[in-house]
Chain A
């Protein structure tokens, strides 16, 4: 099954993430985000980081989840490769992200992402699964 697809845009870049359920689509959105940021093939899932996010609705929760991951990358130097959503409701998410701290000798940053945007934000249930569409500010 396709997990995510990068969407080109005139000024920004975005992605579509897919999943059999909402947990999967949130996890795959995390994968897509870090696929844009870095070459994740060189990232080893050595450490796992507990990430909790809240939102007033499902879409805001998706933006907040990705924003928290982006903060961890930007401020603390984490690069993540694997994501596991432990629990998920409409307003609250608990997940584990696995990866390691940025090592300039082994890791390559492809495209620094400034922020997660609400532009054309979409989180929808399709027949047989879920789809998210997110554009990020670069």
Chain B
């Protein structure tokens, strides 16, 4: 029998959710379980690629190991954290990870704790690594909730995925995406939504326009926990993409002021206000550094070569570091377009106008 590390670390059970076994049955069950856990000649204990931790009473996070997946969408091949809230009235899930296969691990962990239905699944944005597991919860008859822009972005993603699959000449993407069905939300919100689940208050707060248009955070005010999705990366380089970095920084400042103690990122361990501020300062530093160097006439290629981002920040998802520089560079150019100095088409538009950006070391 394989013993998963994640199972070993999930120890807390919700009282009142299961019937108490009579003592003889309990003893028999204990002996059977002890026998099953003995190592056999043909199999040695293996470990899982995640661990589940109870953050506060009834609130759990599945923290995956930093693994690059070879199934699912290669553009979203890193597993995200997924949260779940267990109450005597039902459970709620925050983000369903990057494939239904990972989401089944998540459902398995929930089922180890409760037989109650999963009433709500909340997607914090429309990136495939937080919603491709949604389909697992259709059978659970869960309400799948996201913001209106996130729902639109998920539809766009599905259309784009179909196009990519048609263009996939070596069938690799089709092989990777076999058995995966992007599943959009069943309910959308355009304003803050309050849910009551047992004694737990769950607030879904849209905070759009920073990391993406469809962002929402999930706030548990009684327990002072916030699930931030991709708005917060703890020890991982972020996917900047078409994010509005200024708005993103403003949102993070706003979140730092909330009456919260625990901030759950998309990747990396849970953080507090300090870790959230560190990430916000990284975005500020990155912007200032790119803007300053761009104003000196440097190209994106120069910046990627000179900035040594992965040496300054020893974070995971190193492949995203040069992309982050490139993407911030393009945003800087959009704000202050000037003539390029490079013949490289990748370096279109170079700033010559000096800026007053501060240069703050991380």
A-side contacts of B138, CB under 8 Å: none
Q: Does B327 contact A (CB under 8 A)?
A: no
Contact, CB under 8 Å: A87 / B70: no
Nearest CB on A from B125, distance (A) = 23
**Known pairs A86-B49, A96-B49; A47 contacts B44 (CB<8 A):** no
* Chain B stretch 1-45: residues in CB contact (< 8 A) with chain A: 2, 43-44
Contact, CB under 8 Å: A48 / B70: no
Nearest A residue (CB) for B72: A50
Which single member of A23, A49, A86, A101 contacts B70 (CB below 8 Å)?
A49
Which of B61-69, B109-117, B182-190 sits within the interface?
Answer: B61-69
Contact, CB under 8 Å: B318 / A87: no
Q: Does A82 contact B (CB under 8 A)?
A: no
B-side contacts of A52, CB under 8 Å: 70-71
Nearest CB on A from B40, distance (A) = 11
* Chain B stretch 69-111: residues in CB contact (< 8 A) with chain A: 69-71
- Interface Cβ pair total, 8 Å cutoff: 40
Nearest A residue (CB) for B47: A86
A-side contacts of B71, CB under 8 Å: 50, 52
Contact, CB under 8 Å: A48 / B65: yes
**Known pairs A49-B70, A86-B47, A87-B2; A101 contacts B319 (CB<8 A):** yes
Q: Does A46 contact B (CB under 8 A)?
A: yes
Q: What CA separation (Å) do A50 and B79 show in the bound complex?
A: 11
A-side contacts of B361, CB under 8 Å: none
Q: What CA separation (Å) do A87 and B69 show in the bound complex?
A: 16
1/0 contact string of B160-191 vs chain A (CB within 8 Å):
00000000000010000000000000000000
A-side contacts of B172, CB under 8 Å: 75
Q: Does A68 contact B (CB under 8 A)?
A: yes
Nearest A residue (CB) for B316: A47
Q: What CA separation (Å) do A48 and B79 show in the bound complex?
A: 12
**Known pairs A23-B44, A87-B46, A96-B49; A50 contacts B68 (CB<8 A):** yes
In the A-B complex, the 8 residue pairs with the smallest Cβ-Cβ separation, listed nearest first, are: A49-B68, A50-B67, A87-B46, A86-B46, A50-B69, A48-B67, A87-B2, A51-B70
B-side contacts of A47, CB under 8 Å: 66, 68, 316, 318
Nearest B residue (CB) for A75: B172
Additional A-B contacts beyond A23-B46, A49-B68 (8; CB < 8 A): A21-B44, A23-B44, A50-B69, A51-B70, A52-B71, A72-B70, A86-B47, A86-B49
Q: What CA separation (Å) do A85 and B46 show in the bound complex?
A: 8
Q: What CA separation (Å) do A52 and B71 show in the bound complex?
A: 8
Nearest B residue (CB) for A89: B43
* Chain B stretch 304-337: residues in CB contact (< 8 A) with chain A: 316, 318-319
* Chain A stretch 91-129: residues in CB contact (< 8 A) with chain B: 96, 101
B-side contacts of A23, CB under 8 Å: 44, 46
**Known pairs A87-B2, A87-B46; A49 contacts B319 (CB<8 A):** no
A sample of 22 cross-chain residue pairs with beta-carbon separation below 8 angstroms, ordered by A number, consists of A21-B44, A23-B44, A46-B318, A47-B66, A48-B65, A48-B66, A48-B68, A49-B69, A50-B68, A50-B69, A50-B70, A50-B71, A51-B70, A52-B70, A52-B71, A68-B70, A75-B172, A86-B46, A86-B48, A87-B2, A87-B46, A96-B49
- Among B48, B65, B70, B172, max chain A CB count under 10 A is at B70
B-side contacts of A75, CB under 8 Å: 172
Which single member of A49, A87, A101 contacts B67 (CB below 8 Å)?
A49
Q: What CA separation (Å) do A87 and B5 show in the bound complex?
A: 13
